[in-house]
Amino acid sequence: MYTDNSYATESVWNGTGSGCSIYDAAPNWQLALSNWTQTHCGTKRAISDLAADADPNTGVAIYDSTPYAGSSGWWQVGGTSLASPIIASAYALAGGAPANTQAAAVLYQNFTGANIHDITLGSNGICTTIMCSAAVSYDGPTGLGSPNGIAGFSNTITPTPSSVPNPTLVPTSSPTLIPSPTPIGPDTTKPTVLITYPTNNSTVPRRTNITVTANASDNIGVTKVNFYHNNLLYCSRSTAPYTCVMSTPSFTNQTTTYKATAYDGAGNNASNTVTVRAQ
What is the pLDDT confidence band of residue 80, given thresholds at 50, 70 and 90? confident
Architecture of domain 20-153: 3-Layer(aba) Sandwich (3.40)
Length of the chain: 279
Q: Residue 192: pLDDT band by 50, 70, 90 thresholds? A: very high
- Determine if the pTM surpasses 0.75: no
In terms of pLDDT, which residue wins out, 63 or 134? 134
User: What is residue 151's predicted lDDT score, i.e. its pLDDT?
Assistant: 75
171: exposed, middle or buried (Cβ count in 10 Å: 0-12, 13-18, 19+)? exposed
The whole-angstrom separation of Cα 202 and Cα 140 is: 36
Distance CA 98, CA 270 (A): 21
Q: Residue 6 has what pLDDT?
A: 67
Domain locations along the chain? 20-153, 192-278
Q: Which range among 56-60, 113-117, 120-124, 218-222 shows the weakest confidence by mean pLDDT?
A: 56-60
Radius of gyration of the chain (CA): 25
Are 151 and 115 a contacting pair, CB within 8 Å? yes
List Cβ neighbours of 30 (8 Å cut-off, separation of 6 or more): 36, 45, 46, 108, 138
Q: What is the pLDDT of residue 209?
A: 95
Are the C-beta atoms of 264 and 191 separated by less than 8 Å? Answer: yes
pLDDT band at 261 (very low <50, low <70, confident <90, very high): very high
Superfamily name and number for 192-278: Immunoglobulins (2.60.40.10)
- State the chain's mean pLDDT as an integer: 84
With a cut of 50, say whether residue 97 has pLDDT above it: yes
